[in-house]
Structure 1
Amino acid sequence: MATPFEKRRRRSLFLTLVLPAFAGAAALSLWAVTKTQVYAYAPSSLPAPAELGDREVRLAGLVQEGTLSISEDDLVVFTVTDGAASVPVTFEGILPALVAENEGIIAQGRLQPEGIFRAETVLARHDENYEAPEVTKALQEAAEKNADL
């Protein structure tokens, strides 16, 4: 049978090994979460480049009409607006098919010191009510037939 001194010694040994390991794991988890968080901003709430530093963020809004241009080498330039403010965006790559002027967009990247948002990823925003193009076309044709009657 273990004496009270041996029990206390085992307990203190357990606490000196387990508690620091647990605290280290918790600190590592919190650090990983803060490093992987990506904040989303509208153009009017986007902080200044100096405030963001080199942190990656998301920019959400509408592609401003008349600003979408795609060069032959897949350099895409457009402006994202929320009605109150606008931010110029550059992106190298192929845009998703749903990206169009006056449509919702989410761009993930970094705000450059000159105020241009350099996107690494571009996503098209759409509502959750998806309707296949064939269904939309069939409904439009049905509506046109009913209008002719």
Structure 2
Amino acid sequence: MAGLKSLKKRRRVQLILFAFVLLAASTALIGYAMRDGINFFRSPSQVLSDPPRAGEVFRIGGLVEKGTLQRGQGETISFSVTDTNHSVPVKYTGVLPDLFEEDAGMVGTGSMQGDTFVASEILAKHDENYMPKEVVDALKAQGVYVAPKD
């Protein structure tokens, strides 16, 4: 009878250890799978002070600098994104969001080609007072954020 209790206890411990190993392995696999899918936000100042690796896809955000929006041939658009300290030129081919405009918040996904950020996707505010949270946080950190008036 004592041997049966010892066997049950050993099986229970083995089952708990197996579940722990399985949980750790699945967590590691999920982290490994997501390593390329995570795009961190960078301000123009961060991009200029710590340039990304060649071909690295990342997100850049800030305000569309006033007076820099230029429409080229077809759907090609160029402008500069600023955090009020530094500016990075951006080139984008595609259809911009309807509410994209100068002096408004934006976040773009893409990579650097030379000194220009070539965007594959542009996100813009979705109403009068919206600015991406990351852009607001970056502007607040620099002490230049002005809250929208209602």
TM-score (norm 1): 0.69
Quick one: distance in 2 between partners of 1:94 and 1:82? Answer: 24
Q: CA deviation at 1:32?
A: 4.3
- Number of the residue aligned with 2:52: 49
- Number of the residue aligned with 2:135: none
- Number of the residue aligned with 1:23: 24
Quick one: distance in 2 between partners of 1:15 and 1:62? Answer: 52
AA aligned to 1:127 is N
Whether contact under 8 Å (1:60, 1:107) holds in the other structure is yes
TM-score (norm 2): 0.68
Q: CA deviation at 1:85?
A: 0.6
AA aligned to 1:101 is E
Quick one: distance in 2 between partners of 1:3 and 1:74? Answer: 76
- Number of the residue aligned with 1:121: 121
Quick one: distance in 1 between partners of 2:129 and 2:56? Answer: 28
AA aligned to 1:26 is T
- Number of the residue aligned with 2:84: 83
Quick one: distance in 1 between partners of 2:108 and 2:26? Answer: 33
Structure 1 moving runs of 4+ over 4 Å? none
Quick one: distance in 1 between partners of 2:92 and 2:42? Answer: 18
Q: CA deviation at 1:20?
A: 1.9
CA RMSD of aligned residues (A): 2.4
Q: Name the SS for the 2:99 alignment partner.
A: coil
Higher helix share: 1
AA aligned to 2:123 is L
Identical amino acids, percent of aligned pairs: 31
Aligned residues: 125
Where in structure 1 are there 5+ consecutive unaligned residues?
Answer: 129-149
Deviation string for 1:20-70 (max 9, x for gaps)? 2111112123334544332112211223023xx544322112222332122
AA aligned to 2:115 is G
Where in structure 2 are there 5+ consecutive unaligned residues?
Answer: 131-150
AA aligned to 2:129 is D
Quick one: distance in 2 between partners of 1:6 and 1:82? Answer: 66
Q: Name the SS for the 1:72 alignment partner.
A: coil
- Number of the residue aligned with 2:74: 73
Whether contact under 8 Å (1:49, 1:115) holds in the other structure is no
AA aligned to 2:102 is E
Quick one: distance in 1 between partners of 2:63 and 2:71? Answer: 17
Quick one: distance in 2 between partners of 1:127 and 1:31? Answer: 37
